[in-house]
Chain A
Amino acid sequence: EAGVAQSPRYKIIEKRQSVAFWCNPISGHATLYWYQQILGQGPKLLIQFQNNGVVDDSQLPKDRFSAERLKGVDSTLKIQPAKLEDSAVYLCASSLGDEQFFGPGTRLTVL
């Protein structure tokens, strides 16, 4: 069974630039999550989708972050414009039941 795929694996941008991350969940997983993991901290949920609907986006900084899952499969997370404090690993996860399966993450560095 293929795991959760994410791209790119690494991204370096300057502050105020825009960036987008892509996630392809495990086939058949209805629930998809985006997490932000800042160095030295645990992952923090940004947004949760159930199929193509948003279940929880209470911790998403909506002035600069957006996410979509148009066809209920792949998802993109965008940051526009980026700030220095957005430097982190962005993890995508998917689930069918209680267990969440994580992708390798995208490491974003904002200079």
Chain B
Amino acid sequence: DQQVKQNSPSLSVQEGRISILNCDYTNSMFDYFLWYKKYPAEGPTFLISISSIKDKNEDGRFTVFLNKSAKHLSLHIVPSQPGDSAVYFCAASAGANNLFFGTGTRLTVIP
């Protein structure tokens, strides 16, 4: 049973435009959400997180939005750069550090 879902396996965006990656979850006990970025042949690297007490967290070009009522979060990257091309994983946890990951979205930023 997939508790964290990323329904778009891939996304292509022009350089300089906004990239929006979406994630849905089913477990209402999740209280901490993270985005990881993964390049080929490397492990995932932490990008940005948000606690359930917030609805927005911003770090430079990256902003994560959380809509608890819809059990939905999104990652906005603006402006998108070619170096942002990677697979992005959404993850969630409930209290403990056990993370549940989505299936990933492959972002391609076209120069």
Select from chain B the residue with minimum beta-carbon distance to A37.
B101
**A42 neighbours in B (Cβ, 8 Å):** 4, 6, 89, 91, 101-104
On chain B, which size bracket covers the interface?
Answer: 20 to 34
**B101 neighbours in A (Cβ, 8 Å):** 42-44
Does B7 sit at the interface, judged by CB under 8 A?
A: no
Chain A 39-58 near chain B by CB (<8 Å), digits 1 or 0: 01111110010000001100
Query: Given A4-B43, A45-B98, A103-B43: A98 and B103 within 8 A (CB)?
Result: no
Query: Given A42-B102, A104-B43: A98 and B89 within 8 A (CB)?
Result: no
Does A22 sit at the interface, judged by CB under 8 A?
A: no
Query: Given A41-B103, A42-B89, A42-B102: A95 and B43 within 8 A (CB)?
Result: no
Which of the residues B43, B49, B89, B98 comes within 8 Å of A99, measured between beta carbons?
B49
Q: What total of chain A residues lie within 8 Å of the partner, measured CB to CB?
A: 23
Does B97 sit at the interface, judged by CB under 8 A?
A: yes
Smallest CB separation, A106 vs chain B (Å): 10
* A-B CB contacts (within 8 Å), total count: 51
**A43 neighbours in B (Cβ, 8 Å):** 44, 89, 99, 101
The answer to whether B32 touches A98 (Cβ under 8 A) is yes
**B44 neighbours in A (Cβ, 8 Å):** 43, 91, 102
The answer to whether A95 touches B97 (Cβ under 8 A) is yes
Does A25 sit at the interface, judged by CB under 8 A?
A: no
**A55 neighbours in B (Cβ, 8 Å):** 96
Select from chain A the residue with minimum beta-carbon distance to B9.
A40
Most chain B CB within 10 A, of A33, A56, A100, is at A100
What are 7 A-to-B residue pairs whose CB atoms are below 8 Å?
A33-B97, A41-B103, A41-B104, A45-B100, A95-B97, A98-B49, A98-B97
Q: Which residues of B contact A (CB under 8 A)?
A: 4, 6, 32, 34, 36, 41-46, 49, 89, 91, 96-104
Q: Which residues of A contact B (CB under 8 A)?
A: 4, 31, 33, 40-45, 48, 55-56, 91, 93, 95, 98-105
